[in-house]
Structure 1
Amino acid sequence: MSEHSDFEGELTRALRRAGTAFEPDQHGLTLGGAARGRRMRRRSFTVTGGAAAVLLLAAGTAAVAGLPGGAARPVPPASSASPSAPGLTAPQLVAALTSHLTGLQVLDSEAIDTAESVRTGLPPRLSVTVDDGRGRALVTVTVNRLQAQEGHRSKTDCPAEPSATEICEQSRTADGGTLTLRRDQLPGGDPKRIWSASLDAPDGRWVNVSSYNFANMVDQNTTRAEPPLTVAQLGVIAADPVWRPAFEAIPAGGLTQVVPPPVLAGERIAAIVQPLLPAGAVADQLRPTADNLHLRVNTGGVDVHLRDWRKPPMGTPADEFAGAERLADGTLLLARTEPFGGPSYRNVVVLLRPDRLRVTVSALNPPVVEGRTPVSTPVLTLDQVRALALAVVAEAAPLP
């Protein structure tokens, strides 16, 4: 197995342990289903003890106070919520989290509320970008209803064998549930860190709270040495009963994800890409899926991903396309060479079409092979990656 595969597999497993909200593509490590998440932009504000967005319980009701730009909004109290209750809105979800973030500056927030969760089949979840003066970072929450047949112990069990890269502790809660605290890091000196707390309650309620040392899920470039919240702090957030209305709004039978048809099938992407490869390039291990393609070119990797960007995935910077090249039809284009885990580099071209279709094409350098000199140049030049991206976006169907 190549070093690329080891690295990508470890990161994928760590992200999955950190919560089902974020299922990265095996090779591109970009968000998938979260692209349909409801994005909520909030101007920057600092959460302090008095000015925080907090849940105020009074006379059997709750209100969200202190959110910038608006008055208090009602929140159903945990004690009175029922499966027919409206659950939690996106502002209420974000306020429930920010009430725990005293001293952190909240720069951005986004959420999938319970109404959208039922409509799309994605679990309620939210993400905030924070900064404590040591660098920006993501904090995320996912709420789900786990079914007995899912064997959900696998989501919360600590590894049987201790590991220096997986520090895991478990404790029992008063109602007989399990609280799992994890600190995950990648092997080989990779700087990514994911701290998480998962509450697995007897009634099927599953709440995951994760803190990362990077600020967005797209490039996952580290922005600080460690996540901003400790696992103990994450455990307090996960155990907060404020998440119960979101859980109870999920149908008893669980969620069924609605998958839209691809705008360009993986097989067609492969047919477009292969003739455009440079002379002498040998492509093998072709793995096309809906809207995605991974192929190995001269032992390096080339990835193509298409996403509906009308609702960007969680953790995406608001100014991602600031300074982008604007093509004649209004499509925005970004091109860059960037590090990608340890000794790896990749050339990346990102296109955003006027209808908000986002196409990402990237090329990695060949993996390090023992006894050979590392190759630091990606298998395709930036110009070649650009040509591939333009060819793909030209043929992709309009978004429905």
Structure 2
Amino acid sequence: MPVDQTHDPFEEQLSAALHQAGGAFDTDRAALAAAGEVRGRRLRLRRRAALAGGAAGLALVGVGGALLVPSGGGDGPRNGSVAATGSGKPTAAPHVAAVSADDMVRTLTKLLPEGKVTRGAARGTDDPLGLPPLAQVVFDDGAGVGAVSLVVDRVGREEGTFDPASVVTPCPGMEMPGTVPDSCVTQNLPDGSVVTLIQGYEYPDRREDTKAWSADLVTPAGQRVSVSEWNAAAEKGEPVSRTEPPLTMAQLKSLAAAKEWRRVADTLPEPAAAPTASGSGSGEGSGSGSAADTTGLAGRRILAALTGSLPDGMQVVSSDHDETEFAYAVVDDGKGRSYVQVNMQRGMSDAAGELYGSGAETLADGTRVATRQGPGEKGGEGVVMWTVDTMRADGRRVVVSAFNSGSQTTAATRSEPALTMTQLREIALSPQWEVLGG
């Protein structure tokens, strides 16, 4: 089928200097102090175990606010390319031929039903930042256009003990108001793979009519294929163009299970399985002890979610992450650099009373929201810090902060951060955090 390739490629601007890890990973101390008391020694043990094992590969999944991560391969529905990233890259697999961005688009095009394909963002296995291969297209089967995004990756595992069901996207629990999709089912395939199929909306509260359907498949060999589709030309910002996304759920599952993607995954380095912290902790935070906490994937997922959520025209000039909860990006909107950071924690319900006071907002789905605007905490002259702090009904906490400098410790380079409080709020409340890392 024809492929329109009239897009302009991203021009990635690689930064020559990432922040030193010690300064970059230190976060909003005032906002997180109570959380640290609650989680205590168990979290520190888990973090040390993850750091000892190193970071594994990034796995992107699609439920509601599925992740569309821009790349250097082309302009897609979302803008804002990642220009540099840091820690925890696994070593490359030897003597394996790379799969190009063009190969990814050609393969996706071949596997789609008959129709017209317009190429969006794409990335091959030779990405200099170590991000996973990606293909995004706009597909028109004659009944209206719909966006389709596919990411291939590998997950850390231990031979003989790996269970794909421990990594694949779980269905949201019925106890989480406002997050339950129209349909969610996890299936075991004959070859031992596990796939979760979800039919929902881009925004679970359905404030827009954009539907988001997804298939997340993990094989016994640790290969992961995540496919998402929408009934609009883009995940966000485009009007609905058809009643439902273009592929049926059976077609979506077949696309995710195609052998071609497993061969792509086999060209990627296999991340080492991070050890789990043993310890006989008192149980605080035990609700967050899922497989996603111990695979070492969380930091890279958080970074991808952050950069994929940035407004159009925002260039990422440097970025980094730790293995479990934190990521940052230095962005430039043409008016100067601005440091943006995200912390994501799970199992924080028992700290909600300390973190969200009488001035906090409670949304209809039970999410709590607190905002702060004040001076930075690291001594940079004239630096201000704007923060949106949120907690879902299931105890998942997302804190997003932006500064009016490219570093928390250097003088201000602009009067305000590059992101407004409204934009920070939109990032913090994005549905993507509800499925990120399980």
Bucket of the pairwise TM-score, normalised by the shorter protein: 0.3 to 0.5
Which protein has the bigger strand share? Answer: 1
Structure whose CA Rg is larger? 1
User: Under a length normalisation based on structure 1, what TM-score does the superposition of the two structures give?
Assistant: 0.47
User: Under a length normalisation based on structure 2, what TM-score does the superposition of the two structures give?
Assistant: 0.43
